[in-house]
Structure formats: structure tokens, C-alpha cells
Amino acid sequence: MQGFDTANPPFDRLAHQEVEELRAVLDIGYFSPDEMIVRQGHASDLLHIVIKGSVEVRDGSTVPTILGPKDSFDSRALVHGAAGEDFVAAEETLCHLIPRHIINGLIHRNAAFAAFFYADVSRKLDAFAHQRKAEGMDSVLRARVRDARCRAAVFIDGGATIEQAGHCMRDNDINALFVRDGQRIGGTCRRDRIGAGPI
């Protein structure tokens, strides 16, 4: 499809054959003003890249973030199965639409594309965590240890990839893993960028 900018990150990291695969399935979606495109807490079957118009990223009462041409959304809804915010058309908006299975295939085959994609998800999770921390610190400090939710520890081998660790956390609905590396045991969490720190 003409008009799709393959120099726009993360698509600049794709090989020629991968670009052609992507172009073959590209579609265009039209969204009217105030139309809900991706709803908070829901999965998305598409990655959206704004062509024309603008999209508001709404999270409760906070001032919305505005996405414009070449911005994409929502990687979190694709990778983790649930959007962290509402994505609403602020005006008449056109978006390129890329099916989820194509994005997942590129993530599995192209490490550079995957790194950019997971970094974007990580940034969004960090922002979400900081916001919730500011909102809930007072109640957390008053909570009792005996009331904390406890569950069995989940281990992963030190030779596993970051992607495998992410899937393991998602499948077990947890935010951290214990890492076995020979005789050493460490830990990694969703907010870690690389590696695992010793315990």
C-alpha cells in the first residue's frame, strides 16, 4: 500500500521481505470525532498508525495525550491483551491498520523490531506504575503484611529470552520472576530493561 512510511520507527528496522509482507496486509480505517478506537482494559486485534487527524489518549480525569500523524497505538493492547487507556478520535482520523498476527510474527522473527516494541510497552507500564504509585502510596503504607496476596514463586532459566520472560509473567499474571543461572538465583521484573539483579 502506497503512503505507508517504512522509515518511521520501528518499521525502519524491518528487512525488505518483511516490509513487503506488511504492505500486503495493510488496511486503512476511518474514525469519526469522539469515536472510541481502543477501549481501556480491552485487547486490540490491530496496531493503528495515524495517517491524518488526531487521537486522544484518555486515562480518567488526567489531561489527555494527543497522538498525531506517524504515531502508533496501542502496543500494550496487542502484547499484553489489555489497553492501559482509552484511545478516542479527537477529529476525523485515518489510520493504517496492521493485524495483530503480523505484528506478533515480526516480533518473533526480528529482534530489533521486538526490542523497540517491548521498550514502548515498558515505557507505558512505567508511566502507569508511577501514576498509581502517586495515587495509592498512602493506602499502601497503612496496609498490613498479613493481608498481602501470597502465591507460589515462579522460576525461569537464565538462558531464556526477555520475550519468554514477558510471556511467562503474562501467563502467570505476575510482575516478577526468580531467575536460575547455574548456582545463582536472581530476579527480574516487568520494569527491568535487561538482565536480572542478584538477590
Structural domain including 183 reads 146-192
| Beta-carbon-side half-sphere exposure of residue 40 (alpha carbons within 13 Å) | 10
**Cβ atoms within 10 Å of 16's Cβ, excluding its own:** 8
pLDDT of the chain, 199 residues: tens digit per residue: 557 888 888 888 899 999 998 889 999 999 999 999 999 999 899 999 999 999 999 987 677 789 999 998 888 888 778 888 899 999 999 999 999 999 888 888 888 888 877 776 565 555 555 555 555 555 555 656 555 555 677 888 888 888 888 888 888 888 888 888 887 888 887 665 444 444 4
Together in a domain, 32 and 100: yes
β-bridge mates for residue 36, sequence order: 88
Q: Are 126 and 191 in contact (CB under 8 A)?
A: yes
Burial class (CB in 10 A: 0-12, 13-18, 19+), 13: middle
Together in a domain, 42 and 103: yes
Together in a domain, 26 and 88: yes
Claim: this prediction has a pTM higher than 0.85: no
Q: Does 133 reside within a domain?
A: no
Distance CA 111, CA 117 (A): 10
Could you say which of 57, 85, 111 is where a domain stops? Answer: 111
